[in-house]
Amino acid sequence: MKTYYDERHLIFSRMRLKPGTDAYQDYYQKQPHLKAKDDAMRGLNITEKLRVSNHYKSLFFPLTQNNKALLKNWHDFLEHHPLKSPPVTIPKHFSKNIKEIAKHFGADAVGIVRLTDDHFYSHHGAQSDDIGRPLYGQKTDKDYRYAIVYVQSMNRDMINRAPFFEEMLETENVYLNIAYTGFRLALYLKSLGYKSLFQSEAFYLTPLVPLAYDAGLGEIGMANHLVHPEYGDAIRIGAVLTQLPLEADRPIDFGLEAFCKRCALCLMNCPSNSIKPHPRIVNQRRFYKFDDQTCFQLWKNTGTDCGTCLQSCPFTQGIERTTLDWMKNDIERIDRVIQQHLERHTRRKFIKKPLSIVAIEEE
Ligand code: SF4
Ligand code: SF4
What's the rounded Cα separation, in Å, for the pair 4 and 78? 28
Cα 307 to ligand 1 centroid, rounded to whole Å: 6
Cα–Cα distance for residue pair 342/314, rounded to 1 Å: 9
Question: So what's the pLDDT on residue 40?
Answer: 93
The whole model's pTM is what? 0.96
pLDDT digits (tens, 9 = 90+) for 277-322: 999 999 999 999 999 999 999 999 999 999 999 999 999 999 999 9
| 312 CA: nearest ligand 1 atom | 7
Atom of ligand 1 nearest to the CA of 294: 3
Mean pLDDT of 189-207: 97
**pLDDT at residue 49, rounded to an integer:** 87
> Does residue 135 carry a pLDDT above 80?
yes
State the chain's mean pLDDT as an integer. Answer: 95
Which atom of ligand 2 approaches the CA of 264 most closely? 3
> How far apart are the CA of 217 and the centre of ligand 2, in A?
16
Q: What is the DSSP letter of 29?
A: H
Ligand nearest to the CA of 225: 2
Q: Which residue has the higher pLDDT, 308 or 43?
A: 308
Which ligand 1 atom is at minimum distance from the Cα of 163? 2
Ligand 2 probe mutation, 209, 265, 310, 338, most atoms within 8 A of CB: 265
- Give me the mean pLDDT over the 188-216 stretch: 97
The pLDDT value recorded for residue 43 is 83
Rounded to whole angstroms, how far apart are CA atoms 128 and 132? 7
> Ligand 1, residues 168, 306, 310: which to mutate, most atoms within 8 A of Cβ?
306
Asked whether 259 lines ligand 2 (CB < 6 A), one says yes
pLDDT in tens, 14-28: 999 999 999 999 999
Q: Which atom of ligand 2 is nearest to the CA of 259?
A: 7
In contact, 101 and 185? CB cutoff 8 Å:
yes
Is 47 a residue whose pLDDT tops 90?
A: no
What percentage of the chain reaches a pLDDT higher than 70? 99
Q: What is the DSSP string of 169-235?
A: HHHHHHHHHHHHHHHHHHHHHHHHT--EEE-BTTB-SS-HHHHHHHTTS-EE-TTSSEEBTTTBT-E
Kindly give the distance from the C-alpha atom of residue 24 to the centroid of ligand 2, in angstroms, as a whole number: 36
Q: pLDDT per residue over 156-194, tens digit each?
A: 999 999 999 999 999 999 999 999 999 999 999 999 999
pLDDT score for 363: 64
One-letter amino acid for residue 360 of the chain = I
Q: Does residue 310's CB lie within 6 angstroms of at least one atom of ligand 2?
A: no
Is any ligand 2 atom within 6 A of the Cβ of residue 288? Answer: no
Reduced to 3 states, what is the DSSP secondary structure of residue 252? Answer: coil
Mutate-to-test residue for ligand 1 from 298, 311, 316, 347, highest number of ligand atoms within 8 A of CB: 298
Q: What is the mean pLDDT of residues 238-266?
A: 97
**Cα-to-centroid distance, 193 and ligand 2 (Å):** 42
Ligand lying nearest the CA atom of residue 312: 2
Q: Whose CA is nearest to atom 4 of ligand 2?
A: 266
Q: Is 311 in the pocket of ligand 1 (CB under 6 A)?
A: no
CA-nearest of 172, 181, 192 to 246 is: 192
pLDDT at 151 over 90: yes
For residue 266, which atom of ligand 1 is closest to its CA? 7
Residue 296: which H helix or E strand, with range? helix 292-302
- Spell 318-356 as b/e; 16+ CB within 10 A means b: ebeeeebeebeeeeeebeebbeebeeebeebbbbeeebe
234 touches ligand 2 (CB under 6 Å): no
Cα(259) to centroid of ligand 2, in Å? 7
* Per-residue confidence band for 134, with pLDDT thresholds at 50, 70 and 90: very high
| Closest alpha carbon to 210 in 288, 103, 283 | 283
Q: Is the CB of 306 under 6 A from ligand 1?
A: yes
